Chain A
């Protein structure tokens, strides 16, 4: 079964450093997303991406964050100048165009720890 792949599975970084979280969505999917989940809390929407541009972003997704699809397969989330409160599990997801009845396919996540 096709899956969304995320790397690394765990990233530890010092406060103030930049991190790049990587995702390979399912190949025939057209919509890509980043969500995050602070330990024990709900899954929060960050950003959606379609046709090589951001289609929607939440209030969490400020200038500290950026996304990019550098080639035909990868989808990245960059967090600049990380803060302690950025520590969370970051999930990438993808979906087929307008196939909401199939839901999103989530990757296994990257656990980001800022120290």
Chain B
């Protein structure tokens, strides 16, 4: 089977740094993606990690440890507009290499 776990909610203040963790269990792991979704909007691609390590894209960074079946999304210099749901998604061989999404983490950024 397959499972992904994320915290359901995270709250932080403007300017802070927040880390959203994702753990997964699957026999067919290829890579891990992160998507952002604002209320009523479509998921928007943020990052993809196929190899261990940290990928940085502006204020957002994503980390993967394949040996620990773990990844995280790091958001720096938080802004109010970062308030959204964040989904990790595993590219899974058992699903034809399609992405399977986690339950999502709702991030609330407070002033």
Bin chain A's interface residue count: 20 to 34
Q: Could you give 23 example pairs across A and B, Cβ below 8 Å? A: A35-B101, A41-B103, A42-B87, A42-B103, A42-B104, A43-B87, A43-B89, A43-B104, A44-B101, A45-B99, A45-B100, A45-B101, A48-B96, A55-B96, A56-B96, A58-B95, A100-B30, A100-B91, A101-B50, A103-B48, A106-B43, A107-B42, A108-B41
> Which residues of A come within 8 Å of B, CB atoms?
33, 35, 41-45, 48, 55-56, 58, 91, 100-109
Residues A103 and B96 in contact, CB atoms below 8 Å apart: no
Chain A residue numbers with a CB within 8 Å of B44 are: 106
Report the count of interface residues on B (CB-CB < 8 A). 27
Which 7 A-B residue pairs are closest in the complex by CB-CB distance?
A103-B45, A56-B96, A106-B42, A43-B101, A101-B48, A42-B103, A106-B43
Q: Which residue of A lies closest to B106 (CB)?
A: A40
Residues A102 and B45 in contact, CB atoms below 8 Å apart: yes
> Which residues of B come within 8 Å of A, CB atoms?
30-31, 33, 35, 37, 41-48, 50, 87, 89, 91, 95-104
Does more than half of chain B's interface fall in helix, strand or loop, or is it mixed?
strand
Residues B98 and A33 in contact, CB atoms below 8 Å apart: yes
Residues A103 and B42 in contact, CB atoms below 8 Å apart: no
- The answer for the CA separation of A63 and B45 in the assembled complex, in Å, is 30
Within 8 Å by CB of A43, from B30, B43, B45, B91, lies B43
Supplied contacts A100-B30, A100-B48, A106-B44, 7 more A-B pairs, CB within 8 Å: A42-B103, A43-B35, A43-B104, A44-B101, A45-B95, A103-B45, A104-B45
Chain B residue numbers with a CB within 8 Å of A102 are: 45, 48
